[in-house]
Amino acid sequence: MKKLIQFKNIVKEFDGQLVLKGINLDINENEFVTLLGPSGCGKTTLLRILGGFLNQTEGHVVFDGEVIDNVPPYKRELNTVFQKYALFPHMSVYDNIAFGLKIKKVSKDVIEQKVMKMLKLVNLEGYEDRSVTLLSGGQQQRVAIARALVNEPMVLLLDEPLGALDLKLRKEMQHELKKIQQEVGITFIYVTHDQEEALTMSDKIVVMKDGEIQQIGTPIEIYNEPENEYVARFIGDSNIIPGIMLEDYKVMFDDLKFDCVDFGFKEKEPVDIVIRPEDLDIVEETQGKLTGTVKSVLFKGVHYEIIVETVPGTEVTVRMNVSKEHPAASSDASEKISANDFYVDLEDVAELNDAEVIARADAQAWNVEDDELLSIAKIEYDVKEEIGTYPVTFTSAGGVSVTTKIFVVQQTYVENKKANEAISAFNIFKTVDDIKESTALDTDLKTWANAQGWKLDDEDAVVEITDVDYDFDPDHIEEGVYTVRFSTQGRELKVHTTDVSEEGAEVGLLFQPEDIHVMNKMGSY
């Protein structure tokens, strides 16, 4: 196959912002190439540079062996199907398609012949005298394709041409476009953000992100061997699990070792692992390489999407004492100040500072008249690194003060050996108003309870607390004792299967070594 187009280190800058960061890409003759990526990844910019509508800041475009950097668009041997078709509204279907030929001064009878042939190719026979403004989206699309193809370009550029069509029509046009490309036998360069469209039509997919190419490959390569987490997430559904490459053909994740077919990584290199949902099979608990609990079952038409939790999350439950009034709010005519008792872990006493104390006690001073918050001018506390109860006094700028208690305790925590993590949280003292006034209750509860999670084998590795549950209605809370539960997410794997499972069932998951796709961690790529 002959190289038709070469992008050589294309850089594009808009107002000091790098939109393309050095693109190198070869496109062969008669290829259906798709530039795939989210909006803003630079794919349309690259296409417009090839079309000649934009000039690159650096680099060269080579077309059929010649550098075409300074060739204006109307002299380039390629045609474009624009995003919103850009049909000429003052012309009929026929005149739109004939536009390019008329410019080239082709004789009338040849124009007529070619236009009619094109109308046949795009299934629009008999529409030649219609106004383009009266056509449906799909028909306009076909006119746009015919208008470009009638000029017999060497390359057809298509800029998200199906974006404006509804799903059913889009699917039809996908097949039709592929058919047209095979029939006319020229290079198509297709820009889209739709991964399914890319997989269906392309010979070659170029995945782009932030002005850089992430991966180039056939649809099957891109799907089966994504080079990084980004590509894996963008193409198809996937389970992405952090792991460690132990040695060639051996990978470890969630503290379990597996055989795989990947090699060439450094020993003990942190990697991301992709397992496609359709590569996982649900089997008897005893026969699986992984075991877990079925969390949810969704019917998706052709298959079920089953979520299996292979590693349970960790949870810790604390008590929350809610009182009606602030325990020790003192007041004078104009200012009020309030604060709550709170617990501190013995280990954390050394790290306690003013800001931390204010946050944990939720100390606030405010003006009675207009409810404006005032600053807290002074904090006095004397906490020793011993278990016990210590007073803390907050004083506002106006001299009003309140004293609450700091309980220094030996913190207990919940260990989850299977997930290699632990979390802890303290009991909370709050007032009805505190709860009602909180605008982000989950985050506030985490702060008040000092809820934290960490890895058992590495105390500095933070494990995020993803869920906060409580047994009260924050809008109608009354005084009393409530429970608050903090939990982490375990490992959940998505399975696509045609066999249904029961929610809550204990199952095994089976997969083959070749179903494990090991990728570089993003950033090190």
Partner 1 sequence: MKQFRRLTYPYIIWISAMIVIPMLLIVLYAFTKQGNDVATLQFTFDNFTKFFTDPDFLKILFLSLRIALITTILCVLIGYPVAYAIAQASPARQNFYILLITLPMWINMLVRTYAWIGILADNGVINNILQFFGMSPTKLLYTDFAVTLGMVYNFVPFMILQIHSSLTKMDRSLLDAANDLGANKVQAFRRVTFPLSLPGVISGITLVFLPAVSSFVIPKLLGGAGKPLIGNIIETQFITVGEWNFGSAISMIMAVIIMASMYVTRKLDKDNDEEKGKRGRAL
For partner 1, the binding residues (CB under 8 A) are 51-53, 72-75, 79-80, 82-84, 86-95, 99-100, 103-104, 108, 111-112, 128-134, 147-148, 151
496: β partners = 305
Check residue 167 and give left, alpha or beta (phi > 0: left; psi -120 to 50: alpha).
alpha
CB of 137 to partner 1, least distance (A): 16
Spatial distance between the Cα atoms of 113 and 111, rounded to a whole number of angstroms? 5
* CB closer to partner 1 out of 92 and 200: 92
CB of 23 to partner 1, least distance (A): 21
Reported residue count of the chain is 525
* CB closer to partner 1 out of 191 and 273: 191
CB of 88 to partner 1, least distance (A): 6
> Burial code of 353-372, b = ≥16 C-beta within 10 A, e = fewer?
eeeebbebbbbbbbeeeeee
CB atoms within 10 A of CB 249: 14
Task: Give the three-class secondary structure for 331.
Answer: strand
Where do runs of H (alpha helix) occur along 207-297? Answer: 219-224, 229-234
* CB closer to partner 1 out of 52 and 219: 52
CB of 77 to partner 1, least distance (A): 10
Task: Give the three-class secondary structure for 332.
Answer: coil
**Residue 488 CA to its chain's centroid (Å):** 20
* CB closer to partner 1 out of 49 and 322: 49
Structure tokens that stand for 515 in this block = 């179903």
- Whether the Cβ atoms of residue 206 and residue 34 lie closer than 8 Å to each other: yes
CB of 67 to partner 1, least distance (A): 20
Token pair 């050095």 is found at 22
Q: In terms of Cα–Cα distance, which of 252, 271, 268 is closest to 260? A: 252
* CB closer to partner 1 out of 134 and 500: 134
* CB closer to partner 1 out of 97 and 379: 97
* CB closer to partner 1 out of 51 and 313: 51
* CB closer to partner 1 out of 2 and 75: 75
Task: Give the three-class secondary structure for 98.
Answer: helix
- Whether the Cβ atoms of residue 148 and residue 77 lie closer than 8 Å to each other: no
CA 182 to each of CA 5, 97, 185, 337, 452: distance values in angstroms, whole numbers, following the listed order: 19, 21, 5, 77, 59
